[in-house]
Amino acid sequence: MIKVGGSLGADMSRACADIRALVDRGDSVVVVHGGGAEADRLADELGRPKRYLTASGGRRSRYTDAAALDVLVLGMLGRLKPPLVTELLRLGVRAVGLSGADGGMVTARRTPPANVVVDGVRRVVRDDLSGRISAVDAHLPRTLLAAGYVPVISPPAYDPEADPESGAGLLNVDADRFAARLAVALEADWLVILSNVPGLLRDPGDPGSLVTEIPCEDLAGYLDLAGGRMKVKLRTAGEACLAGVPHVVLGDGRGPSPVLAARAGAGTTLVKGVP
Ligand SMILES: Nc1ncnc2c1ncn2[C@@H]1O[C@H](COP(=O)(O)OP(=O)(O)OP(=O)(O)O)[C@@H](O)[C@H]1O
Ligand SMILES: [Mg+2]
Q: What is the CATH number of the domain that holds 183?
A: 3.40.1160.10
Does residue 176 register a pLDDT over 80? yes
Per the DSSP assignment, residues forming a β-bridge with 184 are: none
CA 23/CA 183 separation, integer angstroms: 17
Does residue 271 register a pLDDT over 90? yes
Q: Looking at the domain assignment, is residue 51 inside a domain?
A: no
Does residue 228 register a pLDDT over 90? no
> Which DSSP category does 61 fall into?
E
**CA-closest residue to ligand 1 atom 1:** 226
What is the rounded average pLDDT of the residues 50-70? Answer: 89
Q: Looking at the domain assignment, is residue 57 inside a domain?
A: no
Neighbours of 45 (CB within 10 A): 11
Quote the ligand 2 centre to 76 CA distance (angstroms). Answer: 13
Beta-carbon-side half-sphere exposure of residue 137 (alpha carbons within 13 Å)? 14
What is the rounded average pLDDT of the residues 258-274? Answer: 95
Q: Looking at the domain assignment, is residue 125 inside a domain?
A: no
Atom from ligand 1 closest to the CA of residue 194: 22
CA 110/CA 121 separation, integer angstroms: 23
Residue 59 confidence class, pLDDT cut points 50, 70, 90: confident
The best mutation among 2, 7, 8, 154 to test binding of ligand 1, ranked by most ligand atoms within 8 Å of the C-beta, falls on 7
Does residue 86 register a pLDDT over 80? yes
Total domain count, the chain: 1
Atom from ligand 1 closest to the CA of residue 200: 3
What mean pLDDT is reported for the chain? 95
Quote the ligand 1 centre to 24 CA distance (angstroms). Answer: 31
Contact 32, 175 (CB under 8 A): yes
**CA-closest residue to ligand 1 atom 21:** 5
Q: Looking at the domain assignment, is residue 117 inside a domain?
A: no
What is the rounded average pLDDT of the residues 8-17? Answer: 93
Asked if residue 155 has a cis previous peptide bond (ω within 30° of 0), the answer is no
Q: Looking at the domain assignment, is residue 119 inside a domain?
A: no
Contact 175, 155 (CB under 8 A): yes
* Domain span holding position 203: 2-44+77-107+131-271
Q: How high is the pLDDT of residue 149?
A: 98
Does residue 274 register a pLDDT over 80? no
Q: Looking at the domain assignment, is residue 161 inside a domain?
A: yes
**Which residues line ligand 1 at a C-beta cut-off of 6 Å?**
5-7, 34-37, 175-176, 195-197, 200-201, 204, 225-227, 229-230, 233
Residue 61 confidence class, pLDDT cut points 50, 70, 90: confident
Q: How high is the pLDDT of residue 116?
A: 92
Atom from ligand 1 closest to the CA of residue 253: 22
Does residue 169 register a pLDDT over 80? yes
Q: Looking at the domain assignment, is residue 267 inside a domain?
A: yes
Per the DSSP assignment, residues forming a β-bridge with 53 are: 61, 118
Q: Looking at the domain assignment, is residue 18 inside a domain?
A: yes
Does residue 165 register a pLDDT over 80? no
